[in-house]
Amino acid sequence: MSGVGRTAESERDSGGGVSNTGEPWTILRMILWSAEYLKNKGVETGRLDAEWLLATALDVERLQLYLQYDRPLSSEEREAFKPLLRRRAGREPLQYIIGRTGFRQLELKTDPRVLIPRPETEVLVQEVLDWASAGAGSVGRVSDGGGGRVWDMGTGTGAVALSLAAEGTWTRVVATDVSAEALSVAADNAERHDLSGLVEFREGSLFEPLEEGEQFDVIVSNPPYIADGEKGELQPEVRDWEPAEALFAGEDGLDVIRPLVAGAPERLLSGGLLALECGLGQAERVAADVNATGAFATARIRPDLAGRPRVVMAERVSG
Protein backbone atom coordinates (compact mmCIF):
# COMPACT_ATOMS: atom_id res chain seq x y z
CA MET A 1 0.00 0.00 0.00
CA SER A 2 1.30 3.48 -0.87
CA GLY A 3 2.23 6.00 1.78
CA VAL A 4 -0.82 8.04 0.91
CA GLY A 5 -2.95 4.94 1.27
CA ARG A 6 -1.37 4.10 4.61
CA THR A 7 -2.16 7.56 5.86
CA ALA A 8 -5.79 7.10 4.96
CA GLU A 9 -5.80 3.69 6.61
CA SER A 10 -3.67 4.08 9.73
CA GLU A 11 -4.33 7.72 10.45
CA ARG A 12 -7.92 7.96 9.31
CA ASP A 13 -9.69 11.11 10.42
CA SER A 14 -11.73 10.72 13.55
CA GLY A 15 -13.69 13.78 12.48
CA GLY A 16 -12.99 17.44 11.95
CA GLY A 17 -9.69 16.81 10.17
CA VAL A 18 -8.07 15.08 13.17
CA SER A 19 -6.31 11.72 12.74
CA ASN A 20 -6.65 8.90 15.25
CA THR A 21 -3.29 9.98 16.65
CA GLY A 22 -5.05 13.10 17.90
CA GLU A 23 -3.05 15.44 15.67
CA PRO A 24 -4.83 17.63 13.12
CA TRP A 25 -3.59 17.60 9.52
CA THR A 26 -2.24 21.13 9.54
CA ILE A 27 -0.44 22.59 6.56
CA LEU A 28 2.93 22.13 8.24
CA ARG A 29 2.25 18.55 9.26
CA MET A 30 1.13 17.65 5.75
CA ILE A 31 4.25 19.23 4.25
CA LEU A 32 6.59 17.41 6.62
CA TRP A 33 4.91 14.05 6.14
CA SER A 34 4.77 14.48 2.35
CA ALA A 35 8.42 15.56 2.18
CA GLU A 36 9.49 12.35 3.91
CA TYR A 37 7.19 10.30 1.72
CA LEU A 38 8.68 11.79 -1.45
CA LYS A 39 12.21 11.37 -0.15
CA ASN A 40 11.52 7.66 0.34
CA LYS A 41 10.38 7.53 -3.29
CA GLY A 42 13.73 8.94 -4.47
CA VAL A 43 12.67 12.56 -4.89
CA GLU A 44 15.65 14.67 -3.78
CA THR A 45 13.67 17.90 -3.39
CA GLY A 46 10.84 16.40 -1.36
CA ARG A 47 10.18 19.36 0.96
CA LEU A 48 10.15 21.95 -1.80
CA ASP A 49 8.03 19.79 -4.09
CA ALA A 50 5.54 19.07 -1.31
CA GLU A 51 5.13 22.81 -0.76
CA TRP A 52 4.56 23.48 -4.45
CA LEU A 53 2.02 20.66 -4.72
CA LEU A 54 0.10 21.73 -1.64
CA ALA A 55 0.07 25.35 -2.78
CA THR A 56 -1.34 24.17 -6.11
CA ALA A 57 -4.02 22.10 -4.40
CA LEU A 58 -4.99 25.06 -2.21
CA ASP A 59 -4.72 27.53 -5.11
CA VAL A 60 -2.38 29.86 -3.22
CA GLU A 61 1.16 31.10 -3.73
CA ARG A 62 3.75 28.82 -2.15
CA LEU A 63 5.03 31.50 0.20
CA GLN A 64 1.53 31.93 1.60
CA LEU A 65 1.85 28.51 3.18
CA TYR A 66 4.40 29.93 5.62
CA LEU A 67 1.78 32.32 6.96
CA GLN A 68 -0.70 29.58 7.81
CA TYR A 69 1.37 26.59 8.89
CA ASP A 70 -0.93 25.84 11.80
CA ARG A 71 -4.18 25.93 9.81
CA PRO A 72 -5.91 22.54 9.68
CA LEU A 73 -6.66 21.26 6.20
CA SER A 74 -10.24 20.39 5.34
CA SER A 75 -11.05 16.94 3.98
CA GLU A 76 -11.71 18.53 0.57
CA GLU A 77 -8.30 20.15 0.57
CA ARG A 78 -6.59 16.91 1.52
CA GLU A 79 -8.43 15.02 -1.21
CA ALA A 80 -7.34 17.63 -3.76
CA PHE A 81 -3.72 17.25 -2.65
CA LYS A 82 -3.45 13.45 -2.60
CA PRO A 83 -3.52 12.79 -6.38
CA LEU A 84 -0.87 15.45 -6.96
CA LEU A 85 1.37 13.84 -4.36
CA ARG A 86 0.84 10.41 -5.89
CA ARG A 87 1.87 11.70 -9.30
CA ARG A 88 5.09 13.18 -7.93
CA ALA A 89 5.81 9.97 -6.04
CA GLY A 90 5.56 8.25 -9.42
CA ARG A 91 8.41 10.55 -10.53
CA GLU A 92 6.30 12.70 -12.82
CA PRO A 93 8.12 16.05 -12.99
CA LEU A 94 6.80 18.73 -10.68
CA GLN A 95 6.55 21.20 -13.56
CA TYR A 96 4.19 18.92 -15.46
CA ILE A 97 1.99 18.42 -12.40
CA ILE A 98 1.62 22.11 -11.57
CA GLY A 99 1.66 23.03 -15.26
CA ARG A 100 4.20 25.82 -15.22
CA THR A 101 7.88 26.72 -14.92
CA GLY A 102 9.61 29.92 -13.91
CA PHE A 103 12.26 31.02 -16.41
CA ARG A 104 14.01 34.35 -15.93
CA GLN A 105 11.21 36.95 -15.90
CA LEU A 106 8.54 34.66 -17.31
CA GLU A 107 6.20 31.98 -16.02
CA LEU A 108 5.80 29.44 -18.81
CA LYS A 109 3.09 26.88 -19.38
CA THR A 110 4.80 23.50 -19.25
CA ASP A 111 3.43 20.03 -19.99
CA PRO A 112 4.70 16.69 -21.38
CA ARG A 113 4.68 18.06 -24.93
CA VAL A 114 7.78 20.13 -24.19
CA LEU A 115 11.16 19.92 -22.51
CA ILE A 116 11.20 21.57 -19.08
CA PRO A 117 13.25 24.81 -19.20
CA ARG A 118 16.35 24.67 -17.02
CA PRO A 119 18.56 27.23 -15.25
CA GLU A 120 21.47 26.42 -17.59
CA THR A 121 19.47 27.84 -20.47
CA GLU A 122 18.98 31.11 -18.60
CA VAL A 123 22.74 31.52 -18.95
CA LEU A 124 22.45 31.07 -22.73
CA VAL A 125 19.86 33.86 -22.86
CA GLN A 126 21.99 36.15 -20.69
CA GLU A 127 25.03 35.67 -22.90
CA VAL A 128 23.03 36.72 -25.97
CA LEU A 129 21.60 39.75 -24.18
CA ASP A 130 25.04 40.79 -22.95
CA TRP A 131 26.44 40.48 -26.46
CA ALA A 132 23.63 42.62 -27.88
CA SER A 133 24.00 45.22 -25.13
CA ALA A 134 27.67 45.59 -25.95
CA GLY A 135 26.74 46.45 -29.53
CA ALA A 136 28.74 43.56 -30.90
CA GLY A 137 26.25 42.86 -33.65
CA SER A 138 25.46 46.44 -34.68
CA VAL A 139 26.83 46.01 -38.22
CA GLY A 140 24.29 43.38 -39.10
CA ARG A 141 21.39 45.12 -37.41
CA VAL A 142 21.68 48.37 -39.34
CA SER A 143 20.21 46.76 -42.46
CA ASP A 144 17.19 45.62 -40.47
CA GLY A 145 16.36 49.13 -39.35
CA GLY A 146 15.95 48.24 -35.70
CA GLY A 147 16.98 45.80 -33.04
CA GLY A 148 17.83 42.97 -35.40
CA ARG A 149 16.48 39.47 -36.04
CA VAL A 150 16.92 36.33 -33.98
CA TRP A 151 16.38 32.69 -34.86
CA ASP A 152 15.77 30.32 -31.94
CA MET A 153 16.14 26.76 -33.22
CA GLY A 154 14.30 24.13 -31.13
CA THR A 155 12.18 26.52 -29.11
CA GLY A 156 10.18 24.06 -26.95
CA THR A 157 8.20 26.13 -24.45
CA GLY A 158 9.52 29.25 -26.14
CA ALA A 159 11.72 30.00 -23.13
CA VAL A 160 14.68 31.38 -25.11
CA ALA A 161 12.72 33.17 -27.83
CA LEU A 162 10.23 34.76 -25.45
CA SER A 163 12.87 35.82 -22.94
CA LEU A 164 14.90 37.48 -25.69
CA ALA A 165 11.77 39.17 -27.02
CA ALA A 166 10.78 40.36 -23.55
CA GLU A 167 14.21 41.56 -22.42
CA GLY A 168 15.90 42.59 -25.66
CA THR A 169 15.24 45.13 -28.40
CA TRP A 170 14.91 42.79 -31.37
CA THR A 171 12.83 43.64 -34.40
CA ARG A 172 11.75 40.04 -34.84
CA VAL A 173 12.31 36.65 -33.24
CA VAL A 174 11.71 33.52 -35.31
CA ALA A 175 11.20 30.40 -33.19
CA THR A 176 11.21 26.97 -34.83
CA ASP A 177 10.67 23.43 -33.63
CA VAL A 178 10.25 20.03 -35.21
CA SER A 179 7.25 19.40 -32.94
CA ALA A 180 3.90 20.99 -33.77
CA GLU A 181 2.76 20.24 -30.21
CA ALA A 182 5.72 22.10 -28.74
CA LEU A 183 4.98 25.08 -30.97
CA SER A 184 1.40 25.09 -29.69
CA VAL A 185 2.67 25.40 -26.12
CA ALA A 186 5.15 28.11 -27.12
CA ALA A 187 2.44 30.08 -28.92
CA ASP A 188 0.25 29.90 -25.81
CA ASN A 189 3.14 31.24 -23.75
CA ALA A 190 3.70 34.07 -26.21
CA GLU A 191 0.04 35.05 -26.01
CA ARG A 192 0.10 34.84 -22.21
CA HIS A 193 2.94 37.36 -22.08
CA ASP A 194 1.67 39.57 -24.92
CA LEU A 195 4.67 38.71 -27.10
CA SER A 196 2.87 37.20 -30.10
CA GLY A 197 3.56 40.30 -32.17
CA LEU A 198 7.32 39.93 -31.74
CA VAL A 199 7.75 36.17 -32.10
CA GLU A 200 6.91 34.11 -35.17
CA PHE A 201 6.59 30.34 -34.79
CA ARG A 202 7.41 27.91 -37.59
CA GLU A 203 7.43 24.12 -37.75
CA GLY A 204 10.30 22.09 -39.15
CA SER A 205 13.71 20.55 -38.54
CA LEU A 206 16.90 22.63 -38.53
CA PHE A 207 16.89 24.99 -41.57
CA GLU A 208 13.69 23.66 -43.18
CA PRO A 209 11.37 26.37 -41.78
CA LEU A 210 13.56 29.25 -42.97
CA GLU A 211 12.80 31.24 -46.10
CA GLU A 212 15.21 31.23 -49.02
CA GLY A 213 18.05 33.63 -48.32
CA GLU A 214 16.75 34.53 -44.87
CA GLN A 215 19.49 35.73 -42.53
CA PHE A 216 19.70 36.71 -38.89
CA ASP A 217 21.77 38.74 -36.47
CA VAL A 218 21.62 35.92 -33.91
CA ILE A 219 21.18 32.18 -34.19
CA VAL A 220 20.61 30.72 -30.74
CA SER A 221 19.72 27.19 -29.77
CA ASN A 222 19.30 24.84 -26.86
CA PRO A 223 19.11 21.74 -29.06
CA PRO A 224 18.88 18.06 -28.15
CA TYR A 225 22.38 17.02 -27.06
CA ILE A 226 22.16 13.88 -24.92
CA ALA A 227 23.86 10.80 -26.42
CA ASP A 228 21.50 7.88 -27.03
CA GLY A 229 23.62 5.60 -24.84
CA GLU A 230 23.21 7.89 -21.81
CA LYS A 231 19.48 7.27 -21.49
CA GLY A 232 19.90 4.77 -18.68
CA GLU A 233 21.86 7.30 -16.61
CA LEU A 234 19.07 9.87 -16.54
CA GLN A 235 16.66 10.49 -13.67
CA PRO A 236 13.20 8.93 -14.19
CA GLU A 237 11.68 12.41 -14.42
CA VAL A 238 13.74 13.03 -17.56
CA ARG A 239 13.97 9.54 -19.06
CA ASP A 240 10.33 8.53 -18.63
CA TRP A 241 8.50 11.83 -19.04
CA GLU A 242 10.21 14.43 -21.19
CA PRO A 243 9.91 14.21 -25.01
CA ALA A 244 12.73 12.09 -26.43
CA GLU A 245 13.06 14.21 -29.58
CA ALA A 246 13.99 17.17 -27.40
CA LEU A 247 16.62 15.20 -25.48
CA PHE A 248 18.54 12.72 -27.61
CA ALA A 249 20.79 13.41 -30.59
CA GLY A 250 22.54 10.29 -31.77
CA GLU A 251 25.57 8.32 -30.67
CA ASP A 252 27.60 11.30 -29.43
CA GLY A 253 24.75 13.74 -28.80
CA LEU A 254 25.85 16.05 -31.62
CA ASP A 255 23.54 14.96 -34.46
CA VAL A 256 21.67 18.27 -34.28
CA ILE A 257 24.45 20.64 -33.26
CA ARG A 258 26.85 19.46 -35.97
CA PRO A 259 24.64 20.33 -39.01
CA LEU A 260 23.45 23.49 -37.27
CA VAL A 261 27.04 24.70 -36.98
CA ALA A 262 27.79 23.73 -40.58
CA GLY A 263 24.83 25.61 -41.99
CA ALA A 264 24.86 28.62 -39.67
CA PRO A 265 27.35 30.78 -41.67
CA GLU A 266 24.95 30.99 -44.62
CA ARG A 267 22.15 32.18 -42.30
CA LEU A 268 24.08 34.75 -40.27
CA LEU A 269 24.74 38.33 -41.24
CA SER A 270 28.32 39.54 -41.05
CA GLY A 271 29.10 40.22 -37.38
CA GLY A 272 26.16 38.07 -36.29
CA LEU A 273 26.29 35.71 -33.33
CA LEU A 274 25.99 31.94 -33.08
CA ALA A 275 25.18 30.87 -29.49
CA LEU A 276 24.66 27.22 -28.59
CA GLU A 277 23.99 25.35 -25.37
CA CYS A 278 25.71 21.97 -25.23
CA GLY A 279 26.11 19.04 -22.88
CA LEU A 280 28.86 18.22 -20.43
CA GLY A 281 32.05 17.25 -22.22
CA GLN A 282 30.84 18.64 -25.56
CA ALA A 283 31.89 22.30 -25.46
CA GLU A 284 35.44 21.79 -26.73
CA ARG A 285 34.26 19.62 -29.61
CA VAL A 286 31.51 22.07 -30.57
CA ALA A 287 33.95 24.99 -30.42
CA ALA A 288 36.37 23.06 -32.63
CA ASP A 289 33.59 22.44 -35.19
CA VAL A 290 32.72 26.14 -35.18
CA ASN A 291 36.36 27.12 -35.71
CA ALA A 292 36.76 24.53 -38.47
CA THR A 293 34.14 26.26 -40.65
CA GLY A 294 36.51 29.20 -41.12
CA ALA A 295 33.47 31.47 -41.08
CA PHE A 296 33.66 32.58 -37.45
CA ALA A 297 35.98 34.44 -35.14
CA THR A 298 37.49 32.13 -32.53
CA ALA A 299 34.73 30.42 -30.58
CA ARG A 300 34.35 31.22 -26.88
CA ILE A 301 33.12 28.86 -24.17
CA ARG A 302 31.03 30.16 -21.28
CA PRO A 303 30.25 28.30 -18.03
CA ASP A 304 26.83 27.64 -16.54
CA LEU A 305 25.83 28.58 -13.00
CA ALA A 306 27.75 25.58 -11.65
CA GLY A 307 30.92 26.54 -13.50
CA ARG A 308 30.61 23.79 -16.10
CA PRO A 309 31.38 24.56 -19.79
CA ARG A 310 27.91 25.03 -21.27
CA VAL A 311 27.61 27.75 -23.96
CA VAL A 312 29.63 28.08 -27.17
CA MET A 313 29.58 31.49 -28.87
CA ALA A 314 31.17 32.92 -31.99
CA GLU A 315 30.68 35.88 -34.37
CA ARG A 316 30.36 35.53 -38.13
CA VAL A 317 33.25 37.11 -40.01
CA SER A 318 33.11 38.57 -43.52
CA GLY A 319 33.95 36.41 -46.49
Average pLDDT, the chain: 90
Q: Is the pLDDT of residue 21 over 70?
A: no
Structural contact between residues 89 and 3, judged by C-beta atoms closer than 8 angstroms: yes
Render pLDDT for 130-186 as a digit per residue (tens, 0 to 9). 999 887 544 444 334 346 999 999 999 999 999 999 999 999 999 999 999 999 999
The string of DSSP codes covering 120-146 is HHHHHHHHHHHHHHTTTTHHHHHTTTS
H or E element that contains 153: strand 149-153
Q: Is the pLDDT of residue 10 over 50?
A: no
Render pLDDT for 80-111 as a digit per residue (tens, 0 to 9). 999 999 999 999 999 999 999 999 999 999 99
What is the reported pLDDT for 13?
44
Of 297, 289, 293, 269, the closest CA to residue 142 belongs to 269
Render pLDDT for 255-283 as a digit per residue (tens, 0 to 9). 999 999 999 999 999 999 999 999 999 99
The CATH number, out of the four listed (3.30.70, 1.10.8, 3.30.1360, 1.20.58), of the domain defined by the range 3-90: 1.10.8
In this prediction, residues 64-88 reach a mean pLDDT of 94
The confidence band for 7, taking pLDDT boundaries of 50, 70 and 90, is very low
What is the reported pLDDT for 175?
98
What is the reported pLDDT for 12?
41
What is the reported pLDDT for 249?
95
Domain boundaries, the chain: 3-90, 101-315
Q: Is the pLDDT of residue 317 over 80?
A: yes
Of 211, 197, 201, the closest CA to residue 181 belongs to 201
CATH class for the domain made up of 101-315? alpha beta
Cα 106 to Cα 165: distance, rounded to the nearest angstrom: 11
Cα 96 to Cα 308: distance, rounded to the nearest angstrom: 27
Cα 129 to Cα 150: distance, rounded to the nearest angstrom: 11
